[in-house]
């Protein structure tokens, strides 16, 4: 069961990370949003004139960051739970800010917000497993 939790966490992180790397790169390459068919007036109530800055943030945080977190999860690293929780929360914040600035209602916003919730839930399970392993190792050394 422990392996399954780490694997599920890694799969979620790879899915989010790859999508964010691709979309972030497209936003950086063509900041007008033309490659993603995003209308420029979408940004009229935001502090951004184009998609360059959001693209960099998306690429680095939800893209590269999630992929690094996936490596930690798939290797069952002791920090996998903490890192997964941080990037799961980062994903939820990204969606919250996006909805606040440009509006909501698109199905992908709900899906990615729920993926952030799932990532945090899996992170708690991972930390629980890692804590139990540490406790059993400590108990074995005291006997």
> Of residues 44 and 10, which shows the higher confidence score?
10
User: Structure pTM?
Assistant: 0.88
By residue count, the chain amounts to 143
**pLDDT of res. 100:** 92
**pLDDT of res. 40:** 80
pLDDT tier at 137 (50, 70, 90 boundaries)?
A: low
Across 4-22, b (16+ Cβ under 10 Å) vs e yields ebbebbbebbbebbebbbe
**pLDDT of res. 140:** 65
- Domain assignment of residue 60, given as a range: 2-142
**pLDDT of res. 84:** 97
Q: Give the total number of structural domains in the chain.
A: 1
User: CB–CB of 122/84 below 8 Å?
Assistant: yes
pLDDT tier at 141 (50, 70, 90 boundaries)?
A: low
Q: How does DSSP classify residue 105?
A: -
Average pLDDT value for residue range 33-54? 91
Summary mean pLDDT of the chain: 92
User: CB–CB of 11/69 below 8 Å?
Assistant: no
Residue 98 has pLDDT above 70, yes or no: yes
Closest CA to 62 of 17, 110, 123: 17
- Quick one: which H or E segment has residue 117? helix 107-142
**pLDDT of res. 86:** 97
Average pLDDT value for residue range 116-134? 89
Structure tokens at 37: 């068919």
Closest CA to 116 of 80, 83, 94, 89: 89
């Amino acid at each position: 069961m422990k392996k399954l939790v780490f694997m599920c966490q890694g799969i979620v992180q790879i899915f989010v990370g790859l999508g964010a790397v691709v979309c972030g790169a497209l936003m950086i390459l063509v900041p007008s949003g033309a490659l993603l068919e995003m209308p420029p007036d979408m940004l009229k109530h935001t502090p951004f004139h184009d998609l360059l800055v959001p693209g960099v943030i998306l690429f680095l945080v939800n893209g590269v960051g999630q992929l690094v977190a996936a490596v930690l999860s798939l290797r069952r690293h002791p920090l996998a739970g903490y890192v997964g929780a941080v990037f799961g929360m980062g994903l939820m914040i990204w969606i919250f800010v996006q909805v606040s600035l440009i509006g909501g209602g698109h199905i992908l916003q709900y899906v990615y917000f729920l993926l952030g919730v799932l990532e945090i839930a899996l992170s708690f399970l991972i930390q629980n497993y890692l804590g139990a392993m540490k406790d059993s190792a400590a108990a074995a050394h005291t006997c």
